[in-house]
Amino acid sequence: MAITWGYNITDLLNTWADLGIFAYVLPFLMIFAMVFGILTKSEILGKNKGVHATIALAVGLLSLQFDYVSGFYASIFPYAGMGMAVLLVGLILMGLLSPDGSKAASWIWFGLGALIFLFVMAGALSDTYFLGGFTVAEALPALFAILILIGFMSLIIWGGGKSGYPAAGGGGAHH
């Protein structure tokens, strides 16, 4: 004989979703905590926690004014959960295959983490209904143009080597 309950975890989570816990309360708490923590740790506005809490409250509430943040959180966190599951499996396999924690293992972890980060961001950004419903495929020409612009800016800023100006203090021919 099976025991059935009138209310299960699915019903509870659906009720929380209907009440806006996932769409508003949790994103607000996360933004509030991050802003408050950054302001408190950096002490950029002094040590007055009342000021920090007021600013964190304002930023948290203003960020939920439209559904962009709620939609982005709804997109990114399921992918992040899958990424963490892959990291957990990688951790188990790395412990099995490389128990000594060699330098190669740290590079493998870095590569795996970077790859998972790219997949999480690509997955989250492919669900762009929170940005107005366009797909990444429709935005590829603009994204490509932005990448080219960033590449040119990188070349200008970090490329080219020496400036071509003579060194201070002379610069004539040495005899």
DSSP collapsed to 3 states, 1-37: CCCCCCCCHHHHHHHHHHHCHHHHHHHHHHHHHHHHH
Count CB-CB contacts under 10 A for residue 75. Answer: 20
Between CA 91 and CA 109 the distance in angstroms is 9
Q: Is residue 36 part of a domain?
A: yes
Asked if the structure places residue 57 within a domain, the reply is: yes
Structural domains counted in the chain: 1
Is residue 144 one of the residues assigned to a domain? no
Task: Name, in order, each residue with C-beta under 8 angstroms of 90's C-beta and a sequence gap of 6 or more.
Answer: 109, 112
Which pLDDT belongs to residue 168?
55
Its domain, for residue 60, covers 10-65
Domain-embedded: residue 174: no
Query: Does 48 fall in a domain?
Result: yes
Model confidence over 83-112: pLDDT tens digits?
Answer: 899 888 888 877 777 666 677 777 777 888
| Residue 22 belongs to a domain | yes
Q: In 10 A of CB 80, how many CB atoms?
A: 17
**How much is the pLDDT for 166?**
53
The Cα 113–Cα 109 span in angstroms is 6
Q: Residue 24 domain-assigned?
A: yes
Structure tokens at 147: 């990448």
Q: What is the pLDDT of residue 48?
A: 92
Say what the pLDDT of residue 25 is.
93
| Residue ranges for the chain with pLDDT beneath 70 | 1-5, 98-101, 127-137, 139, 160-175
58 within domain boundaries: yes
Per-residue model confidence (pLDDT) at position 152: 81
The tens digit of pLDDT for each residue in 44-60 reads: 999 999 999 999 999 99
pLDDT at residue 51, rounded to an integer = 93
